[in-house]
Structure 1
Amino acid sequence: MTLAARDLRWGVAGRMIVDGVTLNAAPGRILGLIGPNGSGKSSLLRLLCRLRNVAGGVVTLDGRDIAAVPRRELARRLAFVEQQATTEVQLSVCDVVRLGRTPHRAALASWSEADEAAVDQALARVGLQHRHDQLWHTLSGGERQRVHIARALAQEPSELILDEPTNHLDIQHQLAILTLIRKLGITCIVALHDLNLAALFCDEIALMQEGRLLAAGAPDEVLTEETIRSVFGVAVAIRPGVSGRRHIEYLIDVPPFAVVPAASSAA
C-alpha cells in the first residue's frame, strides 16, 4: 500500500468528525470516497495529506508515518486538489500552475526548461493551454478547477488526492477530468457526489456515514440498492451499463403528502 490510514480520528468541539477510519489506497488505482454531506469526506482527505493533524491513529506513506515526513518531501510525492480555491492576488493561469513546481526547486534556483515543460504539459492535459497567460480570476468556475488540477499535475505526484474535482464542471469536462485521472496510472483518492461517476471510474469505493467508514470494496460490492437507500435515503434500481460498469437509476417516489387544491381567485 502507498497511502493508508489506520484507526484515524479527528474532531472539533467535542464532536468526532472522522471516527476510527481505516483505509488503504492500492498503488496505481483510484479509490472513490462517497457519502452524504457532512459524512466527513473532506476532513478525511485533509488528514490524509497532513493539512490537519490527527487526534488519533496514523496516516502512512509506504509504511512511514507522514507526520515524520518533511513537508517538502511530502509535497514531491502527494498533491491535493481542493473542492474550491480562490485568491485575491492578480495571478495568471501559468502563475498558478507554476506553484506546483515549488517542491522541486531550491530556494534560489532559476526557472528551468524542465519546469516550464511540466507546466505546459499540465495545462495541455486539462485542455487549457490556450489560457496560459489569462488572469486566473477571469476564468469560469469550471476553468479555475481545471487550473488547480493542472497545478497538482505540475507537482508530478505519485499520489493524488482530489476533493470533489467535478464540482462546477459541465458533463463533458467531468468525464474528461475523470478520464485523465484514470489514465495517470498513479494512486488517487477522489471524493465524488455522483454515484454513477464513482461506479464508472473508480476501482474501489469507500462509503462514509457520520464520520465512520461504513463499507469499502469494489463498486459492485459497495453500491447496492439496499446500501444506497439506507445511507442516502433514495430508492434506486441498479443494472449493468453499456460500459460494463453498473448504472444507478434513481426512482422518484411519490411523497405521502395530501394534495392541497389551489385557492380560487377572487371574482
Structure 2
Amino acid sequence: MSISIDKVTYAAGSTLIVNGVTITVETGKVLGLLGPNGSGKSSLLRLICRLRRVRSGVIRVDEDDISELSRASLAQRVALVEQQSSTDTQLTVRDVVQLGRTPHRGRLFSWAAEDDAAVNDALERVDMQGRENQLWQTLSGGERQRVHIARALAQRPSELLLDEPTNHLDIQHQLEILSLVSKLGMTCIIAMHDLNLAAMFCDSLAVLQKGEVVAGGTTEEVLTKELIGRVFGVRAHIERSSVHGRYSIQYAMG
C-alpha cells in the first residue's frame, strides 16, 4: 500500500478530532475522503503531512513510518494542496510553482537545472506553461488551483493530498480540476463534499463521521441511500447509468 493509516487518533486539547481511523490507499489510486463539516477530513490530511501530531496509531508511506522521517524527506514524498491560499506579494505563476522545490533545497544549495526541469514539468502537466509570467492576482479561481497543484507537483511527490480542491469553483472548473488530478497517475487522497464528483473521479471512498470511519470501499459499496441518510441527514435517490456506469445522486431534505 502507498499510504497506510492504522488506528490513528488525534485530539485538539480535550476534543477528539480523529478517532481510531484505519485507511489504506493503493499505489496510483485516488481515494475520496467524504464526510460532513467537522468530521475530521482536513485534520487527517494534516496528520499524514505531519502538520499535526498523532496521539496514537501509525501512518506509513509505503513501508516507512512517517514519524521516523525527517520533515524534508516527508515533504519530498507527500504534497498537500490546501483549500485556499492568497498573497498580496507580486508573485508570478512561476514564482509560486518554484516554492514546491523548497524541500529539495538546503540553505547552501543554489537553484539547479533539476529545479527548472521540475517546475517546467509541473507547469506543463497542469497546462499552465504559457502563463508562467502572469501575476498570481490576475488568475481566476480555477487557474489558481491549477497553479497550486503545479506547486505540489514540483515537489516531485509520490503521494498527493488535496483538501477541498474544488471549493468555491464553478462546475466547469470543478470538473477540470478533478479530471486533471485523476489523470496524474499518482496516489491521491481528496477530501471533498460533493458525492457525485467523488463517484465520478475516485477509485475508492472513505466516509468519516465525528472522526471515525463509518464506511469504506467502492462507490457502489459506500454510497447507499442508508448511509447518505445516516451521515449527511438527507434522503437520496441514486441512479446508475447503464451506458457508462456512473452514479447520479439527487437529494431531498429528510
What range describes the TM-score normalised by the shorter chain of this pair? over 0.9
Q: Does the 8 A contact of 1:142 with 1:167 survive in 2?
A: no
Query: 1:128-184: per-residue Cα shift (whole Å, max 9, x none)?
Result: 233311222332333222211110011121111100111132222222221221222
- Give 5+ residue unaligned stretches, structure 1: 254-267
Q: Does the 8 A contact of 1:83 with 1:167 survive in 2?
A: yes
Question: What letter corresponds to residue 86 of structure 2 in structure 1?
Answer: T
1:258 equivalent in structure 2 = none
Structure 1 position 106, deviation (Å): 4.5
Q: Does the 8 A contact of 1:33 with 1:208 survive in 2?
A: yes
Which is further off, 69-78 or 200-209? 69-78
Q: Name the CA distance, whole Å, in 2 between partners of 1:173 and 1:157.
A: 24
Q: Name the CA distance, whole Å, in 2 between partners of 1:4 and 1:79.
A: 16
2:247 equivalent in structure 1 = 246
2:35 equivalent in structure 1 = 35
Q: Name the CA distance, whole Å, in 2 between partners of 1:4 and 1:159.
A: 12
Structure 1 position 114, deviation (Å): 3.4
Which is further off, 114-123 or 214-223? 114-123
Q: Name the CA distance, whole Å, in 1 between partners of 2:168 and 2:124.
A: 20
> Alpha carbon RMSD of aligned pairs, Å?
1.7
Structure 1 position 252, deviation (Å): 5.8
1:3 equivalent in structure 2 = 3
1:180 and 2:180 aligned: yes
2:53 equivalent in structure 1 = 53
Q: Name the CA distance, whole Å, in 2 between partners of 1:110 and 1:157.
A: 21
Q: Name the CA distance, whole Å, in 1 between partners of 2:52 and 2:253.
A: 39
Question: What letter corresponds to residue 151 of structure 2 in structure 1?
Answer: R
Question: What letter corresponds to residue 213 of structure 1 in structure 2?
Answer: V
- Give 5+ residue unaligned stretches, structure 2: none
Equivalenced residues, count: 253
Q: Name the CA distance, whole Å, in 2 between partners of 1:48 and 1:114.
A: 27
1:213 equivalent in structure 2 = 213
1:157 equivalent in structure 2 = 157
1:81 equivalent in structure 2 = 81
Residue 133 of structure 2 aligns to a residue whose secondary structure is coil
Residue 174 of structure 2 aligns to a residue whose secondary structure is helix
Residues 140-155 of structure 1: matches in 2 within 5 Å? 140-155=140-155
Question: What letter corresponds to residue 146 of structure 2 in structure 1?
Answer: R
1:136 and 2:127 aligned: no
Which is further off, 179-188 or 134-143? 134-143
Which is further off, 87-96 or 39-48? 87-96
Q: Name the CA distance, whole Å, in 1 between partners of 2:76 and 2:13.
A: 33
2:125 equivalent in structure 1 = 125
Query: 1:27-68: per-residue Cα shift (whole Å, max 9, x none)?
Result: 110111000111110011100111111111111112221011
Q: Name the CA distance, whole Å, in 2 between partners of 1:83 and 1:127.
A: 20
Q: Does the 8 A contact of 1:8 with 1:59 survive in 2?
A: yes
Change (3 A) 1:16 1:252: closer
1:23 and 2:12 aligned: no
Q: Name the CA distance, whole Å, in 1 between partners of 2:2 and 2:225.
A: 31
Q: Does the 8 A contact of 1:142 with 1:168 survive in 2?
A: no
Query: 1:77-121: per-residue Cα shift (whole Å, max 9, x none)?
Result: 111101112233332211110111222334333333332232223
Residue 249 of structure 2 aligns to a residue whose secondary structure is strand
Q: Name the CA distance, whole Å, in 2 between partners of 1:235 and 1:194.
A: 15
2:200 equivalent in structure 1 = 200
Structure 1 position 215, deviation (Å): 0.8
Q: Does the 8 A contact of 1:206 with 1:217 survive in 2?
A: yes
Residue 184 of structure 1 aligns to a residue whose secondary structure is coil
- TM-score norm. by structure 1 comes to 0.89
Which is further off, 132-141 or 223-232? 132-141
Q: Does the 8 A contact of 1:228 with 1:234 survive in 2?
A: yes
Runs of 4+ off more than 6 Å: none
